[in-house]
């Protein structure tokens, strides 16, 4: 479905330079955009490509106007944050083009008589909802999801198909949980008694705030005695493991394959690159950014970017440097000895 450009800008804000009656049908990248598309310029590096786009409309920052205007003859939308505007505009088109699932409970779903499903919620085929669980207004529970005893799902939250959301787990409003995610598995807790592992029952739950996204096949374990906590606005990509008793602070984002060990307490507005690992019982301050593939083995008390991965090399070169890494402790001693000897030689001379 299409929209009048003026209607879109009225809804989303920004300054329109051009014809509000232009009809637009969607968003496309700079090079792929056709004559009914909106596109966006989010970095000065791409300004030449932006000038050459065939799109009808270009979203851009005020600072780019002088360069773009003589070169591009479509409409402009000026905004402080073109990338965020693109996100809002894309959501605008999604709403325009998507029919939400019909409210109601599919005949094949198995719902406990003591569960409370809001009348505007949609429950897909083969879903199971156990005793005491609550599903909020306008929420969507995709096919095959499991909702455990006393679980709570806030309004307007979407579970894609085949999510497992176990007993005593809560999630707030406007959440998104991708397929294959498992929330509320037992934390990994065992006491060792003469070589045997005795399971420690995991009796806490999981508490997830509003506006949280959980990626496909991501796992969040329940707490041992207290709850595992994911605060408002947290975004978790796929294949992430959050162990028991962790606290992930507001608006922190983690890329795919990150692991967080038990009882780690992570601050707000942090970002973690793919496959970063955080050891247990650590504290990470707000605004800490950890690079991909880096292992965090101590608490971090100061904001900033942290990195720790072995640099890639051709295999033969790596073989040589890795062999030297094993001798590094000796190198330090040899350099010290050389410094001592050279100093003696210099003095004597």
Give the footprint of a copy of itself on residues 50-89 (CB under 8 A).
81, 83-84, 86-88
- Cβ contact 230:264 at 8 Å: no
Closest residue by Cα to residue 264 from 252, 288, 248: 248
| Residues in region 154-173 near a copy of itself by CB under 8 A | 160-162, 164, 166
Instruction: Give the one residue of 4, 12, 25, 28 binding a copy of itself; rule: CB under 8 A.
Output: 28
- Cβ contact 311:294 at 8 Å: no
Q: Which stretch binds a copy of itself (CB under 8 A): 12-20, 60-68, 114-122, 314-322?
A: 314-322
- Cβ contact 76:58 at 8 Å: yes
Instruction: Give the one residue of 257, 266, 270, 284 binding a copy of itself; rule: CB under 8 A.
Output: 257
Tokens coding 158: 């979407």
Residue 314 binds a copy of itself (CB under 8 A): yes
Angle subtended by helix axes 5-12 and 82-97, to nearest 10: 120
Q: What is the largest CA-CA distance in the chain?
A: 97
* Nearest residue (CB) to a copy of itself, 216 versus 285: 216
Least separation in angstroms between residue 70's CB and a copy of itself is 28
Q: Is 135 helix (H, G, I), strand (E, B) or coil?
A: strand
Q: Which residues contact 256 (CB under 8 A, 6 or more apart)?
A: 215, 237, 238, 239, 240, 274, 275
Which residue of the set 244, 281, 289, 301 is catalytic?
Answer: 244
Tokens coding 198: 């005795």
Instruction: Give the one residue of 110, 114, 281, 301 binding a copy of itself; rule: CB under 8 A.
Output: 110
Least separation in angstroms between residue 273's CB and a copy of itself is 8
Instruction: Give the one residue of 90, 96, 155, 285 binding a copy of itself; rule: CB under 8 A.
Output: 90
Least separation in angstroms between residue 316's CB and a copy of itself is 8
Q: Which residues contact 146 (CB under 8 A, 6 or more apart)?
A: 127, 128, 163, 164, 165, 166
Residue 349 binds a copy of itself (CB under 8 A): yes
Tokens coding 233: 């606005």
Residue 113 binds a copy of itself (CB under 8 A): no
**Residue 244 among the catalytic residues:** yes
- Cβ contact 272:288 at 8 Å: no
Distances (CA, A) of 341 to 113, 336, 347: 85, 9, 10
Residue 126 binds a copy of itself (CB under 8 A): yes
Least separation in angstroms between residue 18's CB and a copy of itself is 22
| Residues in region 196-225 near a copy of itself by CB under 8 A | 196-201, 203, 211, 213, 215-217, 219, 221, 225
| Residues in region 229-248 near a copy of itself by CB under 8 A | 233, 235, 237-239, 241, 243
Q: Which stretch binds a copy of itself (CB under 8 A): 9-17, 44-52, 65-73, 143-151?
A: 143-151
Size of the site for a copy of itself (CB under 8 A): 127
- Cβ contact 278:257 at 8 Å: no
Residue 269 binds a copy of itself (CB under 8 A): yes
Q: Which residues contact 62 (CB under 8 A, 6 or more apart)?
A: 78, 80
Residue 342 binds a copy of itself (CB under 8 A): yes
- Cβ contact 249:230 at 8 Å: no
Residue 228 binds a copy of itself (CB under 8 A): no
Residues with active-site annotation: 244
């Amino acid at each position: 479905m299409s929209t009048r450009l003026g209607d879109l800008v009225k809804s989303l804000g920004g300054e329109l330079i051009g014809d509000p009656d232009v009809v637009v049908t969607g968003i496309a990248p700079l090079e792929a955009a056709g004559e009914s598309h909106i596109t966006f310029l989010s970095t000065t590096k791409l300004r030449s490509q932006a000038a050459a786009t065939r799109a009808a409309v270009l979203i851009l920052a005020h600072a780019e106007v002088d360069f773009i205007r003589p070169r591009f003859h479509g409409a402009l939308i000026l905004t402080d944050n073109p990338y965020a505007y693109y996100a809002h505009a894309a959501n605008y088109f999604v709403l325009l083009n998507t029919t939400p699932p019909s409210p109601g409970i599919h005949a094949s779903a198995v719902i406990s008589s003591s569960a409370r499903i809001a009348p505007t919620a949609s429950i897909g085929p083969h879903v199971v909802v156990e005793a005491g669980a609550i599903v909020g207004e306008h929420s969507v529970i995709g096919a095959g999801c499991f909702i455990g005893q006393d679980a709570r799902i806030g309004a307007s939250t979407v579970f894609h198909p085949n999510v497992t959301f176990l007993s005593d787990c809560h999630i707030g409003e406007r959440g998104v949980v991708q397929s294959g995610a498992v929330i509320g598995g037992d934390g990994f807790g065992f006491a060792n008694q003469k070589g045997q592992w005795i399971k420690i029952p995991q009796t806490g739950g999981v508490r997830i705030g509003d506006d949280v996204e959980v990626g496909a096949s991501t796992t969040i374990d329940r707490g041992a005695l207290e709850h595992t906590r994911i605060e408002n606005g947290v975004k978790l990509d796929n294949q992430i493991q959050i162990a028991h008793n962790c606290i992930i602070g507001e608006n922190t984002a983690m890329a795919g394959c990150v692991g967080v060990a038990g009882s780690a307490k992570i601050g707000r507005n942090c970002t973690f690159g793919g496959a970063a690992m955080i050891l247990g019982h650590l504290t990470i301050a707000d605004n800490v950014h950890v690079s991909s593939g880096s292992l965090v083995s101590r608490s971090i008390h100061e904001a900033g970017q942290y990195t720790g991965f072995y640099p890639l090399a051709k295999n033969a070169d790596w073989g040589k440097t890795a062999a030297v890494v094993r001798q590094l402790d000796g190198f330090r001693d040899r350099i010290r000895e050389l410094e001592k000897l050279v100093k003696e030689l210099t003095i004597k001379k």
